[in-house]
A = this chain, B = another copy of it.
Amino acid sequence: MALDWQQRRSGCPISCSLDLLGDKWSLLIVRDMVFVGKRYFKEFLSSDEGIASNILADRLQRLEVTGIIAKRSDPDSGRQMLYSLTEKGIALIPILVELVCWGALFDGAPDADPRAVKRIMKDKPSFIQKLVDGCRRG
């Protein structure tokens, strides 16, 4: 049976996207994978925003069920799980980049570097491609 958050409210692509991504935490986990290269539960738990471990576990499960991330045993340490982005997850990078720009330019995010954001704005496609390549290399 589909869980509540797996049910679509409508067929609109924006609504479908928000059915999966419309919460405060899911895209922060993807952010940590894209920009910081995090891969372990403990690494996500240590982010500045202070996600609670039960919420993190729930969001990781959702992201896995919806095909945005994949999970496997860490070959170096069988007890730990290793998370990585699928192509569906990597395809979220343009959304993250737009959230960076909007947060920096229109919401006065304290940690945003205006010069870095201006460089991104000048050539978003190549900035996005670099991040995509980084994720694919793992």
Chain A, interface SS category? helix
Give the shortest distance, in Å, between A25 (CB) and chain B (any CB).
8
User: A74 contacts the other chain (Cβ, under 8 Å)?
Assistant: no
Question: Does A13 lie within 8 Å of B50, measured CB to CB?
Answer: no
Question: Does B13 lie within 8 Å of A49, measured CB to CB?
Answer: no
Residue of B nearest to A110 (CB): B11
- Cα A49 to Cα B17 in complex, Å, equals 13
Residues of chain B lying within 8 A (CB to CB) of residue A107: 13, 16-17, 20, 88
Residues 1-59 of A contacting B (Cβ, < 8 Å): 8-25, 27-28, 31, 47-50
Question: Does B10 lie within 8 Å of A100, measured CB to CB?
Answer: no
Given that A14-B100, A91-B102, A94-B101 are contacting pairs, would A22 and B22 also be in contact in the complex, using a CB cutoff of 8 Å?
A: yes
Contact of A14 among B8, B10, B27 (CB under 8 A): B27
Number of A residues with CB within 8 Å of any CB on chain B: 48
User: A109 contacts the other chain (Cβ, under 8 Å)?
Assistant: yes
Question: Does A13 lie within 8 Å of B95, measured CB to CB?
Answer: no
Residues of chain B lying within 8 A (CB to CB) of residue A49: 9-10, 12, 15
Question: Does A94 lie within 8 Å of B98, measured CB to CB?
Answer: yes
Residues of chain B lying within 8 A (CB to CB) of residue A14: 27-28, 31, 96, 99-100, 103
Residues of A within 8 A of B (CB): 8-25, 27-28, 31, 47-50, 87-88, 91-92, 94-96, 98-112, 117
